[in-house]
Amino acid sequence: MSRAALSSEERDVLRKAAQWLALLESGAASDDDHDALQRWRNSDGNHERAWQKAQQLRQRFSDLPTSLAMATLDRPDQARRAVLKRALGIAALAPAVWLVGRQLPIDVWRSDLHTSTGEQKRWQLADGSTLQLDTASAANVDLVARRVTLIRGEIALKVPGEIPLTVDGPYGRIIVSHSEVCVALRDDQCRVQVVSGSVQVQPLQGPLVTLQGGQQVELRRGGAGAVRAFDATLPGWRQGVLTAQNQPLGDFLRELGRYRSGLLRWEPELEALRVTGSFRLDNTDRILSLLAASLPLDVHARTRYWITLVPRANPSPKKNA
């Protein structure tokens, strides 16, 4: 399969976000500039996503402009001011460069298959297997070597034939034939769930583990955890649904946040509320509205990409979602 590179449009958006950040950090931005930036952010979701990431990353580079400003504070001549502004501009570009290298790593850009935040895709492979990617996921496929390499996120693989396909990841290998499996990479682990059939799981350390339909296991660098059951009949992201069964709201929102661009925050008092239901992932704004209609909370939106959930001041008795 051909390898996908970062598109010119994506590069332009990152570049533009860096330019806006440099202008604001230089101290030379006028009210009209601030208004123009807001219009640019509002005009396209990709613009807002790039801006929010650049703003977050900017905090990691905040020491450099401060030290530069202190060093030139007692020498306010015009030439030094110009040098300072250029230095501030360079420092403001650093988050965008870091963003390119870390938030959008090169192996994701160049992966054979990938999805953006909130997107799910399905592919029919040449051997008859079906491969799906969840939100913000990436994988490489080599049918000659009979190998799928999961780079980021979550994959669902259904192999109808007896010739196995292996799913390789940082914590081990999953051998799939005549079965369906979901493999999810998280911060420090890999979760393997067998939807149907049986698969063999070879962790980096420890013995081979055989999983049957309805079983799951977590892989870490030290080996495989305990085999546990899960309800494979429940709808999930493969059907475009997020399902909760008496789940703490905090856990539910952390999972929902994977499907939304921008910031999703909530007050700590809401963590322990309980959620039950199945929610369509094609409209996460509606999910938030449903939560507000069924739980004692309100949704505060500064923009579509900056959402905060807060306890309702005078909640009325309502059922869980």
**Which domains, from first to last, does the chain contain?**
8-107 (no CATH), 113-229 (2.60.120.1440), 237-311 (3.55.50.30)
Q: What is the pLDDT of residues 253-293, one digit of tens each?
A: 999 999 998 889 999 999 999 999 999 999 999 999 999 99
* pTM attached to this predicted model: 0.66
Label residue 319 by pLDDT band (50, 70, 90): low
**How far apart are the C-alpha atoms of 122 and 25, rounded to whole Å?**
43
Largest CA distance in the chain: 76
Phi/psi of residue 108, each to 5°? -75, -45
Q: In the prediction, which pLDDT does 65 show?
A: 41
Residue pLDDT, tens place only, 23-38: 776 666 787 888 888 8
> Bigger pLDDT: 225 or 96?
225
Closest CA to 17 of 56, 61, 43, 52: 52
| pLDDT band with cut points at 50, 70 and 90 for residue 240 | very high
Place of tokens 């322990």: 272
Q: Residue with structure tokens 């909760």? A: 244
- pLDDT value, residue 110: 72
Tens of pLDDT along 59-71? 544 444 433 333 3
Element (H, E) at 275: strand 274-280
Q: What is the pLDDT of residues 58-115, one digit of tens each?
A: 654 444 443 333 333 334 445 544 544 444 444 444 444 444 444 455 566 677 898 9
Rounded-to-integer distance, Cα 214 and Cα 320, Å: 27
pLDDT of residue 27: 65
**Distance in angstroms (rounded) separating the CA atoms of residues 29 and 14:** 19
> How far is Cα of residue 317 from the mean position of the Cα atoms in its chain?
34
pLDDT tens string 162-209: 999 999 999 999 999 999 999 999 878 999 999 999 999 999 999 999
Q: How confident is the model at residue 4 (pLDDT cuts 50, 70, 90)?
A: very low
Q: Whole-angstrom Cα distance, residue 201 to residue 166?
A: 10
| Eight-state DSSP code of residue 170 | T
Contact partners, residue 30, CB within 8 Å, separation at least 6: none
Q: Using CA atoms, how far apart are residues 162 and 164, in angstroms rounded to an integer?
A: 6
Structure tokens at 27: 């101290």
pLDDT for 42: 87
> pLDDT tens digit string along 154-173?
999 999 999 999 999 999 99
Average pLDDT, the chain: 81
pLDDT band at 235; cut points 50, 70, 90? confident
For the chain, the C-alpha Rg in angstroms (whole number) is 23
